[in-house]
Amino acid sequence: MAYVITQACCNDASCIPVCPVNCIHPTPDEAPFMRTEMLHIDPEACIDCGACVEECPVEAIVAEDELTEEEEPYRELNADYFRVHPFDGAPPDFESPGPVEDLADLRVAIVGSGPSAFFAAMALDDLRGPVVQMYERLYTPFGLVRYGVAPDHQTTKAVTRQFASLHRSKTFTLNLGVEVGKHVSHEELLAHNHAVVYAVGASSDRRMEIAGEDLPGSHAATEFVGWYNGHPDHTHHTFDLSGTRAVIVGNGNVALDVARILLSDPEHLHTDSDIADHALEALRNSRIKEVVVVGRRGIAQAGYTNPEMIALCNLPDVDVIFDPSEVRTDDVVQHVLDDEETESSVDFKVRFAQEHAGTGTGRSKRLVMRFLASPMRIHGEGRVESVEIALNRLEVDDDGSVSATATGATDVIDTGLVFRSVGYRGVAVPGVPFDERRGVIANEHGRVIDPETREQLRGVYTTGWIKRGPSGAIGTNKKCADDVVKSLVEDFLAETLDSPASSQEDLDETIASRQPDRLDFEDWTRLDRAEREAGGSRGRPRIKFIDAGTMLDVVRSGRQALDI
């Protein structure tokens, strides 16, 4: 018997070092790691020891004889990886720690509190010495895990449990409700620390740049995701769910999350998710019966991961429709599959779509996957009424790459609701160089640079999506953060970083004068506990607090109870 990695895999690689036979891949030092959609266990090499099960932070590893019917595809998905990357039987080759350097004088500020920020803080904390201050503009930490991961993916959200160790650290401080550019400047952070690490994620979206994009009824998927996840910046949005069809442009995981939320039974969302109350109420009254997901290229280039599609195909009372003519293996698809650089996940994606192609079984709701189609314009008098799409064909370019070319044919999809999901992009931080074209902080391997001179800004670093763009899974940020921390420490030991000009106490006083309602890690534990208790009384994982006033009231009440 072997173990199998399933949908919840977060790619943080904590399972890899504990495997005695090195059968979990790709490892962080292997090329496919930064682009893999999940980790895999070689069924032929696994010795059934179970060490990885205990280590996994999201309970994604299951014994193969305990797989449910819905999880069965993961048996094949794990094995497929090793057809492309055969297991060589080599023993684990983990880098042994070098001599411990004295880092007690190192002071680092981290801006942001998502996974990349916490992974960076944990990497610094593991060095036993650096003093770390983390700054987050919201009153809640964990960034995209709290406000981006779908509310019904509770096992994925469990990745944040490992960050709780920092609550016990004497050299780590979490500062919630502190915004860089408002309560503290970049220059002030740099003056009080050896280094500042920006891990602020990618909170904005890319536009389609087509006519009608700003009509009422046309929205960014990021707005909808923030709305149903209770993000304070998005709770004011409203969405007209009175029509029967919605169209989503783009076919990455965010697009599929939006589709799944629109088509899910609200009772399932009530019991098995932490979706915001206002969103749950709106979805109870929704009339949406069909969601059409439109992708510019073909099935082999689809942006979603296999685990997301497997989950969608297991939604009760929802037909997932693939047009057989759009997912067939033609010469171009075969060219992609034959390329030695093509990962096994692409081959699985094509086969899975072909196996599920057809017109459905007559269930009450439908998810229609459209490929080889690009939005041309959104039509409507005063609001969205339809989307006009151009039909494409794929061509192999001279360099072997594949591109979509318009055939000249068009189609019109009637709808009153359109979501664009064509990519996230970062937002500039005041005082920090920004690459507008890529939507990231200007950097080379995590060291922030002046985009004109290409010179490094001493003591300024970046990690996560704001460093490399929106790519990879949650755990991908761990390697990204580890690499940046390694560079930061190298620079500190080489004495190329400026020493702080003033004490942390001075900076704390300055921030307190501008933001007297700053919260810390202990305050967050009070909020977390109160949300879970509120959810438990209603049979839900948690009830999210969505406004600052309520959060502050809960914290003050908790502090007062402690003082009694």
Letter for the amino acid at 210? I
Q: Do the Cβ atoms of 39 and 11 come closer than 8 Å? A: yes
Q: Which residues contact 224 (CB under 8 A, 6 or more apart)?
A: 237, 239, 258, 261, 419
Find out whether 110 is annotated in a ligand binding site: no
Residue 308 token pair: 């997301």
Query: Does 116 appear as a known binding residue?
Result: yes
123 and 482 Cβ atoms separated by less than 8 Å: yes
Report residue 388 as tokens: 């006009």
Nearest by Cα to 10 from 207, 195, 142, 206: 142
Residue 6's alpha-carbon distances to 3, 104, 489, in angstroms, are: 10, 41, 36
487 among annotated binding-site residues: no
What is the distance, to the nearest Å, from the Cα of residue 205 to the centroid of all Cα atoms in its chain?
A: 14
The phi and psi torsions of 321 (rounded to 5 degrees) equal: -105, 120
- What share of residues in the chain are helix, strand, coil (percent, to 5)? 35, 20, 45
What is the number of other CB atoms lying within 10 angstroms of the CB of residue 560? 9
Burial class (CB in 10 A: 0-12, 13-18, 19+), 400: exposed
254 marked among binding-site residues: yes
Determine the Cα–Cα distance for residues 16 and 41; give it in Å rounded to an integer: 10
Q: Tell whether 386 is in a known binding site.
A: no
Cα–Cα distance, 536 to 59 (Å, whole number): 21
180 annotated binding-site participant: yes
Q: Does the annotation list 465 as a binding residue?
A: yes
Give the Cα-Cα-Cα angle 475, 202, 528 (nearest 5 degrees): 65
Q: Is 215 annotated as a binding residue?
A: no
Q: Is 200 annotated as a binding residue?
A: no
- Asked whether residue 421 is marked as a ligand-binding residue, the answer is no
CB neighbours of residue 546 within 10 Å: 17
Known binding residue 253? Answer is: yes
Is 111 marked as binding a ligand? no
Residues 6+ apart with CB under 8 A from 317: 265, 363, 364, 365
The CA angle 360-310-532, to the nearest 5 degrees, is 120
Q: List the structure tokens of 142.
A: 């964990």
Token pair, residue 535, equals: 């959810």
User: Rounded distance, CA 472 to CA 93, Å?
Assistant: 24
- The answer to the question of whether 472 is labelled as a binding residue is yes
Helix (H, G, I), strand (E, B) or coil at 61: strand
Kindly state the helix (H) or strand (E) to which residue 374 belongs, with its residue range. strand 373-379
Phi/psi at 3 (nearest 5 deg)? -95, 155
**Separation of alpha carbons 110 and 124, rounded Å:** 11
What are residue 321's DSSP bridge partners? 368
From the list 333, 259, 266, 270, the residue with the least C-alpha distance to 301 is: 333
Q: Residue with structure tokens 């048996």?
A: 75
- Binding-site residues for FAD sit at 116, 136, 144, 180, 465, 472-474
- Binding-site residues sit at 116, 136, 144, 180, 251-254, 296-297, 308, 465, 472-474
- Binding-site residues for NADP(+) sit at 251-254, 296-297, 308, 472
